[in-house]
């Protein structure tokens, strides 16, 4: 049974930094791409970033390029998101999500974590 | 980016009703479409991928259809646990994009 547990959310001032983590269990972490998807308060879902199963490729939505960095440690089954230069519009619940397809850049999701709230406010 | 338009944005229905939600893509996406359910304050749950394939453990009252630009999610007999918001998402064209959601409420 797939388990994804996020942590690291909190309140941060505009321009500040935060690092989110996602601990994975119940599947071979190193065989699947991973994503971060966010949801602003009262809004819908927005894909943020993806990292390939082996960490050799990553991609970002335009609004976070140059500010957010996704990474993974396959030896520790952990996904991370370093968020720098945070803005008010980054306020959201951040979910980590497992890609559907084995060793593929599929951009669809089959399992989600419970989310961690990031609030950017002065 | 591919725009995903869902309708209706909300609906009221009773237990046992048949419910249909539509999703239209701004350009053809073959069958690279998923449906996601989200209950209030909870994590999303993936229901369907490739437009019509149910994820493991999803009840058979859920079904999906469509190809190209027009898709539907049908719940054949609405159950109390199905009251939630449903999102479609395309993954044919980068970046992956979601619809705005359809909230299914109790009548």
B106 burial (CB, 10 Å; 0-12 / 13-18 / 19+) is exposed
Closest CA–CA distance from residue B15 to any residue of chain A (Å): 25
Mean pLDDT of B32-48: 96
Nearest Cα residue to A91 out of A7, A11, A6: A11
State the pLDDT at residue B106.
87
Chain A residues in contact with B49 by the CB 8 A cut-off are 100, 108, 110
State the pLDDT at residue A19.
98
Nearest Cα residue to A82 out of A92, A93, A97, A72: A72
Sign for the CA dihedral angle at B18, B19, B24, B29 comes to negative
Please name the member of B43, B44, B96 whose beta carbon is closest to the beta carbon of A107. B96
Using an 8 Å Cβ cutoff, are A84 and A118 in contact? no
- Residue B47's alpha-carbon distances to A11, A24, A29, B86, B96, in angstroms, are 32, 20, 21, 9, 17
Q: Which of B44, B54, B57, B85 to mutate to test the interface with A (most CBs of A within 10 A)?
A: B44
Mean pLDDT of B56-76: 97
User: pLDDT over 90 for what percent of chain A?
Assistant: 97
Residues A35-70 pLDDT 10s: 999 999 999 999 999 999 999 999 999 999 999 999
Please name the member of B44, B91, B99 whose beta carbon is closest to the beta carbon of A95. B44
State the pLDDT at residue B107.
86
State the pLDDT at residue A105.
85
Q: Which residues contact A122 (CB under 8 A, 6 or more apart)?
A: A13, A14
Q: Quickly list DSSP for B6-39.
A: EE-SEEEE-TT--EEEEEEESS--TT-EEEEEE-
Q: Which residue has the higher pLDDT, B38 or A106?
A: B38
Residues A6-38 pLDDT 10s: 999 999 999 999 999 999 999 999 999 999 999
Return the DSSP state at B52.
T
Judged against a pLDDT cut of 90, whether residue A93 lies above it is answered with: yes
Chain A residues in contact with B101 by the CB 8 A cut-off are 44-45
What distance in Å separates the CA atoms of residue A63 and residue A65, rounded to the nearest whole number?
A: 6
Q: Which of B5, B29, B43 to mutate to test the interface with A (most CBs of A within 10 A)?
A: B43
Chain A 69-98, CB below 8 Å of chain B: which residues?
95, 97
Mean pLDDT of A92-103: 96
Average pLDDT over chain B reads 96
Judged against a pLDDT cut of 90, whether residue B33 lies above it is answered with: yes
Give the 3-state secondary structure of residue A73.
strand
Residues of B at the A interface (Cβ-Cβ below 8 Å)? 32, 34, 36, 38, 42-46, 49, 55, 87, 89, 91, 94-101
pLDDT grade for A111, boundaries at 50, 70 and 90: very high
Average pLDDT over chain A reads 97
pLDDT grade for A106, boundaries at 50, 70 and 90: confident
Please name the member of A47, A100, A112 whose beta carbon is closest to the beta carbon of B45. A112
Helix (H) and strand (E) counts for chain B? 0, 11
Residue B82 φ/ψ, nearest 5 degrees = -90, -5
Give the 3-state secondary structure of residue A30.
helix
- Both tokens of B3, joined, read 């725009």
State the pLDDT at residue B26.
98
Chain A residues in contact with B45 by the CB 8 A cut-off are 112
- Both tokens of A73, joined, read 């440690």
Using an 8 Å Cβ cutoff, are A6 and A83 in contact? no
Torsion angle of alpha carbons A77, B94, B42, B37, nearest 10°? -120
With b for 16 or more beta-carbon neighbours within 10 A and e for fewer, the B14-29 pattern comes to eeeeebebbbbbeeeb
């Amino acid at each position: 049974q797939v388990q994804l547990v996020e942590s690291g959310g909190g309140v941060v001032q505009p321009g500040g930094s935060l690092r989110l983590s996602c601990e994975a269990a119940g599947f071979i972490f190193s065989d699947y791409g991973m994503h971060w998807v966010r949801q602003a308060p009262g809004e819908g879902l927005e894909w943020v970033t993806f990292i390939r199963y082996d960490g050799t490729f990553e991609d970002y939505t335009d609004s976070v390029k140059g500010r957010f960095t996704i990474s993974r440690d396959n030896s520790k089954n952990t996904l991370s998101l370093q968020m720098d230069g945070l803005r008010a519009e980054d306020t959201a619940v951040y979910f980590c999500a497992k890609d559907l397809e084995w060793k593929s850049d599929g951009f669809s999701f089959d399992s989600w974590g419970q989310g961690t709230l990031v609030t950017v406010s002065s | 980016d591919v725009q995903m338009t869902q309708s209706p944005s909300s609906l009221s229905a009773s237990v046992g009703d048949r419910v249909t939600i539509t999703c239209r893509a701004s350009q053809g996406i073959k069958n690279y479409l998923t449906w996601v359910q989200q209950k209030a304050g909870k994590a999303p749950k993936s229901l369907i991928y490739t437009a019509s394939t149910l994820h493991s453990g999803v009840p058979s009252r859920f079904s999906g259809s469509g190809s190209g630009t027009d898709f539907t999610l049908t719940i054949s007999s609405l159950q109390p646990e199905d009251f939630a918001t449903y999102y479609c998402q395309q993954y044919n064209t980068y970046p992956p994009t979601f619809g705005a959601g359809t909230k299914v409420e109790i009548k």
